[in-house]
Amino acid sequence: MENFIKDVFYRLGVYRYAKKLLLKPYLLMQSTAFKRNAKPALEKMTTTLTENNYTYWLEFGTLLGAIRENKILSHDADIDLAMPREVYDDYIENKIINAGFKKIKEARLLDNTLIEVTFKYKTAQVDIFLAYKKNDKIIFYDYMTTKDLSPNECIKKYGGLIVYENVVNNFELDKHLMYEKKLPIPANYHEHLIELYGLDYIYPNKNWSGADREIRKKVDFYAKVYYES
Band of residue 149 on the pLDDT scale cut at 50, 70, 90? confident
- Reported residue count of the chain is 229
The domain in which residue 183 lies consists of 2-227
Quickly count: other Cβ atoms within 10 Å of residue 192's Cβ.
21
Angle at 151 between CA 150 and CA 152, to 5 degrees: 95
Number of domains in the chain: 1
What DSSP designation does 52 have? Answer: T
Mean pLDDT, range 136-144, rounded to an integer: 97
Amino acid at 68: R
Q: Give dist(CA 70, CA 122) in Å, integer.
A: 23
Tell me the per-residue pLDDT of 74-133, one tens digit each, with 9 for 90 and over.
989 999 999 999 999 999 999 999 999 999 999 999 999 999 999 999 999 999 999 999
Tell me the per-residue pLDDT of 32-60, one tens digit each, with 9 for 90 and over.
889 999 999 999 999 999 999 999 999 99
Does the model's pTM come out above 0.75? yes
Reported as type and span, the H/E element at residue 80 is strand 79-84
